């Protein structure tokens, strides 16, 4: 006897719909390796319908005064709190994440971020009006860009959806968002929440649309003629493809891509405290975080002591079932990701040493042990490429110059951290590190008021903060003759 799979559907113009051609794909719970739902495999007809709905809803949404859009976002935030347990259950099943951690580490910041952008809706700032040519006054208008095609990733499907829709809606845009084909459940639930709020407050439900599908669905969204902007959080390869596709009609592009965060540990660091914080920042969410603390550079004078302490911390870190409150992280998201992480370990060079972990855990699901690898060189694959798993690598450096060179010596440039008690050194390092974020004596905290985004192959554009809000607006110059 087989259990019937739950049916997820697209949300287009206020209605839940199957794909026009009826195609579906199975959605697997990574904690069990078993399918629990089906989701639409959306094609051109579905993308057309969603884009048309967003385009039709745009004029009225754009023309609302900011205070009205703020009311909608504040109501959405309230509804997220009211329906938190539903969101937690959906995300846990989506990703295999521990329930307690979704409750404590994802729901509160998401609600806060929505409320932040609700406030940002009323802060459309521009330079002061003035006369820059005799007889004329110039003013600046800040306007929404239009329909936004947004593609969210599978590592934080619920939170990344918030990072995309909240600033877009606050600025007056309408949205078509696609979750990853492996994690659509929480985004479909978000559609139900937002749709009900829009309906209650008398706005078109076409303001927010969700279509499920695969890479081809995302390509169709980016290449569609209606969106004025394409936003993606994903791999470098996906970002390059989006940028290339969007260039054909000069769409705006917002890219948050991979990372390979250096964690530079100097000899004056409080080793027990650093190890505790770095291990959490490296293993949280199974290391499936573009900012994860997975590439440690430690001064040679404390290298052996640090590695031993980090290996001990790894051995004491627990992965397991979603209802176990003692686990730090759940499984990798999908079978392909498990294969990728295993591949990095299998291809380690002879000079590398596995200090802890290095193997799959359990006989079902996609769990992988907390891993520490030492003895690595700068040009090793595992140092240069994003693993996106619970694997921390360690290299030994001799001086500050070498630390900077190695820290910057990768193609990614999203986040980094420096661990030292020397204030002047911390300031020098924060200047020299070529990354969008530099943490000092901490790693991974984020706040709604501060920007998140990288350089180089980590993409461009900012999430969160007023800078993230600005990315969803355009600037118009209006000049008036004073001659009447």
Q: In Å, what is the CA distance from 93 to each residue of 97, 323, 330, 390?
A: 7, 11, 11, 20
Strands 24-29 and 459-460: unpaired
Which of the following is catalytic: 91, 256, 355, 386? 256
Return the C-alpha torsion angle 82, 85, 88, 89, nearest 10.
Answer: -140
DSSP 3: P
Q: Are 64 and 73 in contact (CB under 8 A)?
A: no
256 is catalytic: yes
> In angstroms, rounded to a whole number, what is the distance separating the alpha carbons of residues 102 and 184?
16
Residue 468 CA, chain-centre distance (Å), reads: 13
Q: Are 14 and 317 in contact (CB under 8 A)?
A: no
Classified as helix, coil or strand, 472 is coil
Look-up of token digits 């006054």: 137
Which pair of structure tokens corresponds to residue 415?
């986040």
Judged on CB neighbours under 10 Å (0-12, 13-18, 19+), 63 is exposed
Q: Are 166 and 73 in contact (CB under 8 A)?
A: yes
Secondary structure in 3-state letters for 378-431: CCCHHHHCCCCCCEEEEEEECCHHHHHHHHHCCCEECEEEEECCCHHHHHHHHH
Q: Are 393 and 295 in contact (CB under 8 A)?
A: yes
> In angstroms, rounded to a whole number, what is the distance separating the alpha carbons of residues 60 and 64?
6
> In angstroms, rounded to a whole number, what is the distance separating the alpha carbons of residues 234 and 214?
13
Q: How many CA atoms lie within 13 A of 116 on its CB side?
A: 22
End-to-end alpha carbon distance in the chain:
81
Query: Which residues are the active-site residues?
Result: 256
């Amino acid at each position: 006897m087989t259990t019937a799979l739950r049916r997820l559907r697209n949300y287009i113009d206020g209605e839940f719909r199957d794909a026009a051609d009826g195609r579906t794909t199975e959605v697997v719970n990574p904690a069990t390796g078993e399918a629990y739902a089906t989701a639409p495999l959306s094609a051109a007809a579905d993308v057309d319908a969603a884009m048309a709905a967003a385009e039709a809803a745009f004029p009225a949404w754009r023309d609302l005064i900011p205070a009205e859009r703020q009311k909608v976002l504040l109501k959405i935030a309230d509804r997220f709190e009211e329906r938190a347990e539903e969101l937690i259950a959906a995300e846990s099943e989506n990703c295999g994440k521990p329930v307690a951690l979704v409750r404590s580490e994802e729901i509160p910041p998401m609600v806060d971020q929505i409320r932040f952008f609700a406030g940002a809706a009323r802060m459309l700032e521009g330079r002061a009006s003035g006369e820059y040519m005799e007889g004329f006054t110039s003013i600046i208008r800040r306007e929404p860009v239009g329909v936004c095609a947004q593609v969210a990733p599978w590592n934080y499907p619920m939170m990344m959806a918030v990072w995309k829709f909240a600033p877009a809606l606050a600025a007056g845009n309408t949205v078509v968002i696609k979750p990853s084909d492996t994690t659509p459940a929480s985004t479909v639930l978000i559609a139900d929440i937002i749709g009900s709020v829009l309906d209650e407050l008398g706005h078109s439900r076409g303001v927010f649309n969700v279509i499920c599908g695969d890479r081809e669905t995302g390509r169709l969204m980016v290449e569609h003629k209606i969106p004025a902007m394409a936003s993606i959080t994903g791999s470098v390869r996906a970002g390059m493809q989006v940028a290339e596709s969007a260039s054909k009609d000069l769409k705006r592009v917002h890219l948050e891509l991979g990372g390979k965060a250096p964690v530079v540990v100097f000899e004056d660091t409080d080793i027990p405290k650093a190890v505790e914080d770095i291990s959490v920042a490296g293993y949280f969410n199974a290391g499936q975080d573009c900012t994860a603390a997975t590439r440690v550079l430690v001064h040679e004078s404390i290298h052996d002591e640090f590695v031993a302490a980090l290996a001990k911390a790894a051995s004491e870190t627990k992965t397991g079932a979603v209802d176990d409150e003692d686990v730090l992280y759940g499984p990798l998201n999908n079978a392909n990701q498990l294969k990728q992480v295993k591949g990095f370990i299998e291809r380690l060079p002879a000079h590398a040493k596995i200090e802890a972990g290095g193997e799959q855990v359990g006989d079902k699901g996609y769990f992988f042990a907390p891993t520490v690898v030492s003895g690595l060189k700068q040009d090793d694959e595992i140092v240069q490429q994003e693993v996106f798993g619970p694997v921390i690598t360690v290299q030994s450096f001799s001086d500050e110059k070498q630390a900077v060179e190695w820290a910057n010596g990768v193609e990614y440039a999203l986040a980094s951290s420096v661990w030292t008690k020397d204030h002047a050194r911390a300031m020098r390092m924060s200047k020299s590190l070529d990354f969008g974020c530099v943490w000092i004596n901490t790693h991974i905290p984020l706040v709604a008021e501060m920007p998140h985004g990288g350089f180089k192959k980590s993409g461009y554009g900012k999430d969160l903060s007023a800078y993230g809000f600005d990315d969803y607006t355009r600037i118009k110059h209006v000049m008036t003759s004073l001659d009447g």
